[in-house]
Structure 1
Amino acid sequence: MSVFTPLARPELEAFLAPYGLGQLRDFQGIAAGSENTNFFISMEHGEFVLTLVERGPVQEMPFFIELLDVLHEADLPVPYALRTTDGQALRELKGKPALLQPRLSGKHPTEPNTQHCAQIGELMAHMHLATREKPIERITDRGLNWMLEEGSNFISHLGEAEGALLKQSVEEIERTKPGIMSLPRANVHADLFRDNTLFEGTHLTGVIDFYNACSGPMLYDVAIAVNDWCSFEDGKIDAPRARAMLGAYAALRPFTAAEAELWSTMLRVGCVRFWLSRLIAAESFAGQDVLIHDPSEFRQRLEQRQETHIPLPFAL
């Protein structure tokens, strides 16, 4: 179970007391996390999620708090940091930055259809539009420079075919980096997978886990979402789902010519980012009781993205 920092009931009760939410009824570690420690918290006055941030410097936490406040004020279904009775949002527990947020309703969709994908497209567009004029700056620690460095280092860890695929991908990122960095920017979620969303039926009720969010190219967010939401098990893109997501997005925030030109590249970049992070996690946590996502899933998707047959709506 991915609870890196276990908690005892007395220390949790002491932490929760300043929120004025009544007595602690129950708490439970969330096994699905792979980077942070999360607990479901049941209080006398509601249901909440407590996050202990395990990765990333403390000084960046105000970014996440501000971003979620902006998105919450834009009426988007996101969690936001609750304040204590004296106004504190960011606190510390067991030496880790800690945030308490409302628990959103719904479940992760396991078999997304075109309706799910259209709602994700709309959500992304609204999120980008809410921050495009004045992005809250944060440079991601898993951006293009990280991919170039870690990718180059990891080639030797792989077999011949996989190493060649990664080498080719690193070279493409190096070649296209200036163009990617000049694409239209906003704040992006950068990890908008199915397990970071909540639905009731086909109605989107929540988007969670913004701890990879940053300022960057909006197209990067779109590529990451398409790679997860619109892929078959063999890694190929499901055209109806992809068109539903891209069409819903473009209806609110039209794509540019530069984005259309780099679309295929960005789909591959999105695959490289998660293939690498999963490879690193598999090595780092081998033999430990930590959730590790299968790296081969994104290697397979990267192979399938060498040719892209689903253009952006701009290019239709």
Structure 2
Amino acid sequence: MSVFTPVTRPELETFLAPYRLGRLLDFQGIAAGTENSNFFVSLEQGEFVLTLIERGPSEDMPFFIELLDVLHEADMPVPFALRDTDGNALRELCGKPALLQPRLNGKHIHTPNNQHCAQVGELLAHIHLATRERIIVRRTDRGLDWMLASGVELSAGLDSAQQQLLNAALEEIKAHQPKIMALPQANLHADLFRDNVMFEGTHLTGVIDFYNACSGPMLYDIAITLNDWCSSADGALDLPRARALLGAYAALRPFSAGEAELWPVMLRVACVRFWLSRLIAAKSFAGMDVMIHDPREFEVRLAQRQQVTLTLPFAL
């Protein structure tokens, strides 16, 4: 169970009272989280999700609240923060920053098809279009500088083949870092994996977990998303799914020449980010009752991305 901070019923009832959403009917921890404590909460007036923020400084929370408000006002299916009777969106529970949000309908898709991927591409384009003219600045704590520093530290614990793969990727990041940061920017979800999107049938109904959101190059967000939604079991890109996602995105926001040039590099950068963060999580939570994603998944994907034949749909 990935709940780092347990909550008792009396504590939760006291926390929920100022929302005036009726009596607490039931609550349960959500096992899927790897960084925060999340709970499904049933109240007389509906279903909600409570999140206790476990990682990152509390001063970042206004960013998440503002971003979700912007996306909610743009009619996107996001879990915006509810306000209590005093107008507070960010509160505290068990000594942790806490948010209460509406629970979105739908289920996660474990085996996406082209139609699912096209809708995810559209969603990502809408997020970028809603924020690129007025970016809410937040530098990610898992950015290029972090990759370079963490990669050096973690390399010592890898075998020679893994070291060669990682070190080559780190050198590439170092060489292309200025060009990457000069790409067109917006606010990014930065973690748009299958377990953060919900569907009812073939209709996308919700996107959750914005706690890795930041400002940065839009192409990075696309690479992160495509690496998860459009990878085969062996880590290779599923080209029909990938083209569906990219085509739907480009129909709303055309790619630039600079993005087309750096596309293969960015796919590799996105693999490095999650390979390293999963290695750290596996080490930090070893032996604990916490969901840990397999770091090897992104090691394999990085190896598969050494040769990229998939190009961006680029209109002159």
Do Structure 1 and Structure 2 share a fold, with TM-score over 0.5?
yes
Alignment-derived partner of residue 144 in structure 1: 144
CA distance in 2, matches of 1:315, 1:190: 25
1:276 and 1:295 in contact (8 A); partners too: yes
Equivalent residue for 1:82? 82
Q: Secondary structure at the match of 1:86?
A: coil
1:315 deviation in Å?
Answer: 7.3
Q: Which position in structure 1 is the counterpart of 2:107?
A: 107
CA contact 1:260–1:315 (8 Å) conserved in 2: no
Specify the SS of the correspondent of 1:259: helix
Q: Is the contact made by 2:254 and 2:315 (CA closer than 8 Å) also made in structure 1?
A: no
The correspondence of residues 278-297 of structure 1 with structure 2, limited to 5 A, is 278-297=278-297
Cross-structure match for 2:174: 174
Distance 2:286 2:133 in 1: 43
Deviations 1:204-257 (A, max 9, x none): 000000000000000001000110000001000000000000000000000000
Structure 1 residue aligned with 2:266? 266
CA shift for structure 1 position 85: 1.0
Per the TM alignment, residue 153 of structure 1 is displaced from its structure 2 partner at its CA by: 1.1
Which amino acid in 1 is paired with 2:185?
R
> CA separation in 1, counterparts of 2:110 and 2:125?
23
**CA distance in 2 between partners of 1:86 and 1:62 (Å):** 16
Q: How does 1:50-199 map to 2 (within 5 A)?
A: 50-199=50-199
Secondary structure, counterpart of 1:157 in structure 2? coil
Q: Output one character per residue of 1:69-100: Cα deviation in whole Å (capped at 9) or x when no partner.
A: 00000001101000001101000001100000
Are 2:255 and 2:315, in contact at CA under 8 Å, matched by a contact in 1?
Answer: no
Cα distance in 2 between the residues matched to 1:134 and 1:22:
37
CA offset at residue 202 of structure 1? Answer: 1.0
The amino acid that maps onto 1:277 is S
Determine whether 1:18 maps to 2:18: yes
C-alpha RMSD of matched pairs (Å): 0.8
Is 2:220 aligned against 1:220? yes
Q: Deviations along 1:267-307, whole A, 9 cap, x unmatched?
A: 00000000000001111111111110000000000000001
- Extract structure 1 runs of 4+ deviating beyond 4 A: none
- Residue 125 of structure 1 and its aligned partner are, at CA, apart by 0.5
d(CA) in 2 for partners of 1:49 and 1:154?
Answer: 35
**Contact 1:63–1:136 at 8 Å: present in 2 too?**
yes
Amino acid at match of 1:41: V
Q: Which runs of 5+ in 2 are unaligned?
A: none
Give 2:236's aligned amino acid.
Answer: K
Report deviation, 1:152: 1.1
Q: Percent identity?
A: 73
Superposition deviation, residue 28 in structure 1? 0.4
Structure-2 separation of matches of 1:201 and 1:298:
28
CA–CA distance in 2 between the matches of 1:287 and 1:50?
26
In the TM superposition, residue 170 of structure 1 has moved relative to its aligned partner by 0.6
Q: CA deviation at 1:51?
A: 0.1
Q: Distance in 2 between matches of 1:165 and 1:315?
A: 33
Shift, 1:41, TM fit: 0.2
Structure 1 CA distance for aligned equivalents of residues 155 and 86 of structure 2: 51
> 2:32 is paired with a residue of what secondary structure?
coil
Q: In structure 1, what residue type is equivalent to 2:31?
A: A
Number of paired residues?
Answer: 316
3-state SS, counterpart of residue 6 of structure 2: coil
State the distance in 2 between where 1:162 and 1:201 align: 40
Q: What TM-score do the two structures reach when normalised by structure 1?
A: 0.99
- Taking the aligned partners of 2:196 and 2:141, their CA distance within structure 1 comes to 19
Alignment partners' CA distance in 1, 2:69 and 2:232: 35
**Separation of aligned partners in 2, 1:241 and 1:40:** 32
SS at match of 1:150: helix
Q: CA separation in 2, counterparts of 1:211 and 1:274?
A: 15
CA distance in 1 between partners of 2:235 and 2:32 (Å): 22
Shift of 1:102: 0.1
Amino acid at match of 1:186: A
